A and B are shown apart, each in its own frame.
Chain A
Amino acid sequence: MRASSRKWLHKYSSTLITGICILLFLVYLAFFSGADWSLFREQFLNFEKMEGRYYIFISPLLLVVKISIYSCFFATFIGLCLAVLRSYKIKFFDVTITAYVILFRSIPAMVLVVLVYFALPFVGLNLPSTNSVIMSLSLLFGAYTTEIFRSGINSVEKLQIEASKSLGMNSIQAMYHVILPQAMRVVIPPLTTVLIDVLKTTSIAYVVGVPELIARARQMEGVIGSVTPLIFVSVLYFLIILPVVILSSRLEKRSRKWSNS
């Protein structure tokens, strides 16, 4: 009895100590740190002032979803096309596509969005801000999806291409009927990671004046004199992205298990 309880204590001692530390820290924060918690509640969690204003966030929320869906669609399309083109091993495509990937993997999203929105009008190309964000995000994440699709296509064995050729398929048929369906399985977990990144990066649209969540929150912050809308928006972002994060880590775990067995 005694030995087992000692063992238990040994096993969980670090957990216990951590728990006690956290508890002490919370007690300190709440009572002894001298922080003004009523101020915190009033400024950060003042949902009474937000009442009747939640509808303002509906259209920007839809806008964020729209930008993400469009950008994801275009990025996937770009990635798929370029990866297929690259798989034919033609020198010209090889060089240009690699250059594209390196260029857009290197450029910061913020810089590209600003460049597209503020520089293109000088050559008479006046894109609406939403479209310029969609365009930059598609180009940016197209580079990542190209790499993803390429590794997916590479993961299919060479033998299968030869087999499908010997069945009389041409290279396009082999790509469409044999390689891509198998590549999809490898490709989907990393694609969800791209989806997360796109969702997060849409927030950059704030800089070029797209009326999205942050912009609305900052407006409302000025009106009601409290940061609560900002907190609300960050929770909103969290709630949109978290399901995708969970889905993505599930898929990744499953694919890892699948590849190990």
Chain B
Amino acid sequence: MTGDPLFADGVDWGDIGIMGIKVLVAFAALLVATMFMIWFERKLISDMQHRIGPNVAGPWGLLQAFADGVKFFFKEDLRPANADPLVFRLAPYISAVTAFVAFAIVPIGGVFTDTPGRSGTVTLFGKETILQVADPPVGILLLLAMSSVAVYGVMLAGWSSGSKYPLIGSVRASAQAISYEAALGMSVVAVVITAGTLSTHEIVRAQAGGVNEWLLITTGFVPFLVFLISATAELNRPPFDLVEAEQELVGGFHTEYSSIRFALFFLAEFMNVITMSAIMVTLFFGGTAGPVFFGLTWLWPTVWFLAKVLAFLFVFVWFRATLPRLRYDQLMSLGWKVLIPVMLFWLMFLGLRQLVVDQGWSTLQEVVVVLGLSAAGLALGWSLLAAALRAAKRNTDTEGLGDHDPEDLMPAGASPDAAGPGEDG
């Protein structure tokens, strides 16, 4: 039984009030968290670069983000003469709204158990409810829907600016987002196959039995790694931040934006980092799972959740401080030629394993079916890919490539005989 128990017995004004409070709290908390994320990132990256970072506004520069926010409000709102007035105004709001909506499906608290019946609920004003804004039946698909709609914000911002650099930045950004959405979606599918549900609430509950039931482990690490990489690319975070490669593109798709409209893009970007971290915790790290000690039992899950999210925020900043930016062709070949084939193979593997579990076969049968068929699929896909690459090489040899080097058509470092796994055949 999924869905919010709040609405199980009809809807009255009290339910609507609780819903309103939840929406407001989520909105405000996310906004404040975003402010502190900006501070956190700047402070942490200065630490890693042996600088001091923001230290003027407030203690340890804590109020820097607020000061910047106020500044943005009072700056002049510029609009290029060439811009498309309507779309230019619309684009920042699409970015900001999608960033907010995706957070709605994240359970941020509640003690989950893996026993049948309702769990993970808290009691607010005498009514039982869940600590997430919404638990729609499509669950995690909402994340994919929002991330595909978020492409519009970037794309329209670049186009409507009526200027070259934003357009190039936005075409890069949309191509990147669309490419990595496939890998992202497939790693979500891995989670859904293993957990057997789309609802984020139920996904967290499927991981309630302890660390060895976390989907990180039960899906076998690979989906998590693919999710982390594709999420970084979806977020346009370093090392995948070609969208705003300052040296080439000025500021990327938001070059022409100023004042509060720029602030909205800025906000959406950092908010998406928080949302993606929260989604990663929900999907792979047990969400709110963690030992409950003394006292306030309802508080501990939220504490664990926040701690895990903070760890991922740290990881994203760490990426930025450590990794150099990828070239555009490296970015595309990583997405299409590595992540997607790996995920296709892994989905086949997980699907076979789930088949064995559903059918209740014995361990011997499990080993034979899962390993045998996986190996067969891998061999088939690999030989097809090798044959295709060999044919391509033969064609280039006979027809000639002009000034192009044949190796350039291969993925970086791959020869026709050493292609990565692939079983799209």
| A-B complex is real | no
Residues of A within 8 A of B (CB): none
